[in-house]
Amino acid sequence: MSKRIQSYSIERQKARWGWIFVAPTLIFFSLFSFYPIFNAFYASLFRKKLLSLKPPDFIGFNNYSYLLKSPDFWNSIRATVVFTLGTFIPLLIFSLIFAIFIMSRKRFQNFFQMAYYSPAVLSSVVAAVIWLLIFDPRGLANQWVNFALNTPGIDHKWLASSVMVQISAMMVYFWKYVGYFTIIFIVGLASIPQSIYEASKIDGANDWKNFWYITLPLLKPTTILVSIMSMLQCLKTFSTQYLFTQGGAPLAPINVITLNIYHTAIRDHRIGRASAMSIILFIIMLFFTWLQFKFSRTDEVSY
């Protein structure tokens, strides 16, 4: 009996310390994440203008029904989906290829890691400004492509055609974040025990078989992590599209949800409608986070 009481109190003590350690993070998240989410949801139920001092009108779910009927909002969903699919798939494939390339080097591993990672350190605004200069009709992009394809004088309309401006936005994002995900893959690759490769070598497996039957399956949790992370990041993309439109690119092809939220709140002063849009984006992202949890539970790997 006394043993049970003792273990019970130890458990309680442990739990208490657990709560103490977790409390700062919980408070932080409550203040800076949960409160803004609830506040945004609350604001989304009102017709509220950013500058007005008058009490806002309660309109229930009218902002949501307006958005679901708005062609502009559906265009933003389209632009976000196209950008996300067009960016996160190449990001996933190439970051894995670059990670394997770096890990296979015997020398200059640190140099390559630094070189690939450096664009991720740059602010998105600086990156987009650099690329705006590159994509100028008289800029380097046209010069390089025309030199490579021997097509002098062709304007590839990097920012001026609705298809090319979407591809350009994808290129900038890919360039900026491929290094970041490469580093995550490198960590995943480094955590695979060398003994497995040694055993397969004794069994006569070649590099290709090693990759397909050892590396790829054991890297599955990292691959899922990278795919979900990159997908969420792509769904939140803003600065590249914002700066492209400031640089004269047409808005509609790259009017992603975040850019639409920004315009609705800052240009149109309709904070209630912008909040409704951000709640919809939050639900979309929550769905993908749920997917991540679902896959990661069934794919735990033990060596």
Partner 1 sequence: MKKLFVVFLFVIFVSITVNAATDIEITFWTHEDPNRTEIENRYIAEFEQANPGVTIKRVTSGSGQIQELILTAFAANQGPDIFNMSIEDEYAYIVNERLAPVDFEAAGYPSLQAIYDAYIPGVLDPVTYKGQLYGLPLELTNWCIYINKKIFRDVGLDPEKDYPKTWEEMMEVSDKIAIREGEILKRRGFDFRYPYYLVSWVPMVEQLGGKLISDDGKTAIINEEAWLKVLDYMREWGPNGRNLGSPTYTNARKLFNKDNNDVAMCLTGLYQQGRIRADNPEFYESGEWMVVPFPVFENAVKDVPAAYYGHYYMVNGQKPKENQQIAWKFIAFMLSHPEEYLTKVNIVQPTVKLMESATFKSMPYSEVFKNDMAKGHIVYYGESSAKIQSLIREAVESVMLAGVSPEDALKTLKRKVQEVLEEG
Question: Which residues in this chain contact partner 1 in the complex, by CB under 8 A?
Answer: 49-53, 135-138, 142, 152-155, 157-162, 246-253, 263, 266-269, 271
Closer CB to partner 1, 33 or 246, in the complex: 246
Closer CB to partner 1, 136 or 210, in the complex: 136
Least Cβ distance, residue 19 to partner 1 (angstroms): 34
Specify which residues 58 forms β-bridges with: 46
Closest CA to 162 of 254, 259, 257: 254
* Residues 168, 131 contacting (CB under 8 angstroms): yes
- And the tokens for 59? 């309109």
Closer CB to partner 1, 153 or 204, in the complex: 153
- DSSP element (H, E) containing 88: helix 71-104
Closer CB to partner 1, 223 or 275, in the complex: 275
DSSP 160: T
State the chain's maximal CA–CA distance in angstroms: 90
**Length of the chain, please?**
303
Closer CB to partner 1, 136 or 292, in the complex: 136
Specify which residues 47 forms β-bridges with: 57
Q: How many CB atoms lie within 10 A of CB 274?
A: 24
Closer CB to partner 1, 135 or 185, in the complex: 135
In sequence order, the 6+-apart residues with CB closer than 8 A to the CB of 228 are: 288, 289, 291, 292
Q: How many CB atoms lie within 10 A of CB 51?
A: 6
